A and B are shown apart, each in its own frame.
Chain A
Amino acid sequence: MQQCKTLELLVGLFVASGIVALFFLAMHVSNLNPLTEDEGYTVYARFENSGGLKVKSPVSIAGVRIGRVTDIRFDTQTYESVVEMRIDKQYNTLPDDTSASILTAGLLGEQYVGLNAGGSEDYLEDGSVIEYTQSAIVLEKLIGQFLYQNKSDKK
């Protein structure tokens, strides 16, 4: 009987350790935060070119991550890319003239949406559209421009 108890105890410990490990992976490694993900509001921004932006790319302001990209669509009317973002509920005081730009973390890092707060008294709400946007910088275009400029300087 005693042996039976220790066996059950060890199996219980084993299963519990597995759950702890999974919990660790979920919370500490992937930063799964289902509560704050759900409670938030959605804003849209239109870009001429959203570059390498992906669903789940971070949205940050002043270097702090405040949300994620939840959808990227192509608007067949205006030929623009419409980016849908979910912003955490605690950041509900962003001015409605905030501008959005697509930036790259480091030279080769991944792309994210960077917001720049404006000066308006009104705030962005669920379903608002950010008016002022700056598209992703496409490296090839930049290099092309740079070469062209160099050429005209030499003349």
Chain B
Amino acid sequence: MIQLTRQLGRFTLQSLAKLGRGSLFLGHTLSGLTDILLRPGLLIRQLYFVGVLTFLIIVISGLFVGMVLGLQGYYTLSDFGAEESLGVMVAASLVRELGPVVAALLFAGRAGSALTAEIGLMKATEQLSGMEMMAVDPVKRIIAPRFFAGFISLPILAALFSAVGILGGEMVGVGLLGVDEGSFWSQMQANLDFYDDIMNGVIKSIVFGFVTSWIALFEGYDAIPTSEGVSRATTRTVVNSAFAVLGLDFLLTAMMFGDD
């Protein structure tokens, strides 16, 4: 029993210490913004690695998720004779929830884990330390461009995911199952609001981009500099990002859609 209490206490202290380190790290990273504005080339390079290389998985997943939504939605709605609402259903679920959330989870799996592994390996091979000795701040030079690239990329990826998903839903619903194209789009347009639905989805993806990039980079920076430490950190990135995204999604949804 004492053993258990002791372990619990140690775990709590360690988690708090990590949160503290993470917050300091975040502050340090954000202070690198000025350096990035002076050298946008660094950011563009990272936008390629973080954003462009995640593009394909996002578009393909979005297409399939939209197609499945179209199919499932059609079977459920046709029981109530409400096939015309298929457009609303597909678009609302994508724009409000699935777009930001699934894009963030895919982003954590593709780009986040790659970032953790990259930073962890740079630490393990003394590259970060070497940079410090060359009087270059590795957080500003290496971490900050990657952080802002992630922060910018995820909203773009989430918007793509939703857009492609809606087209996928249309392909299945209208093209395959014969829902009327006019009512598919008009019902969607009548029921979705730009600010309440689409902008809220964009806000969600901005928050997720911030959090997943932070987690991925901090796990890499805080990793134990051995091959085992780096591989563990990579796993932690995916797990912690998933928790953070899903938990925050609940909070944000409650805040945004709570009052109507």
Contact = CB atoms under 8 A, between A and B. Distances in A.
Interface string B132-165: 0000000000000000000001011101101110
Chain B contact patch, size range: 20 to 34
The residue in B190, B192, B193 that gathers the most chain A C-beta atoms within 10 A of its C-beta is B190
Interface in A1-49: 7-8, 10-11, 13-15, 17-22, 24-26, 28-32
Contacts of B157: 18
Contact of B202 (A10, A13, A14, A22): A22
A7 B44 contact: yes
Contacts of B95: 25, 29
B194 A30 contact: yes
B91 A22 contact: no
B194 A18 contact: no
Nearest to B62: A21
A141 B171 CA distance: 43
Contacts of B185: 28
B107 to A, nearest CB: 13
Contact of A25 (B47, B48, B162, B190): B162
A28 B162 CA distance: 12
A73 interface: no
A7 B52 CA distance: 9
Nearest to A22: B159
A25 B159 contact: yes
Residue among B44, B95, B159 facing the most chain A CB atoms (10 A cut-off):
B159
B190 A21 contact: no
Contacts of A114: none
B163 A26 contact: no
B55 A14 contact: yes
A29 B193 contact: no
A17 B156 contact: yes
A26 B260 CA distance: 21
Contacts of A110: 191
Contacts of A13: 52
Contacts of B164: 21
Given A7-B48, A11-B48, A25 B163 contact: yes
Contact of B163 (A14, A21, A58): A21
B224 interface: no
A54 B162 CA distance: 27
Contacts of A14: 47-48, 51-52, 55, 153, 156
B253 interface: no
Nearest to A7: B48
A26 B198 contact: yes
Nearest to B157: A18
Given A7-B45, A14-B52, A30 B159 contact: no
Interface in A109-127: 110
A19 B44 CA distance: 17
Nearest to B192: A30
B115 to A, nearest CB: 17
Interface of A: 7-8, 10-11, 13-15, 17-22, 24-26, 28-32, 54, 56, 58, 65, 110
18 contacts: A7-B45, A7-B48, A8-B44, A13-B52, A15-B156, A17-B160, A18-B157, A19-B156, A21-B164, A24-B163, A25-B95, A25-B162, A26-B194, A28-B189, A29-B189, A30-B193, A31-B192, A58-B190
* Top 5 A-B residue pairs of the complex, sorted by shortest distance between their CB atoms: A18-B156, A31-B189, A32-B194, A21-B163, A21-B159
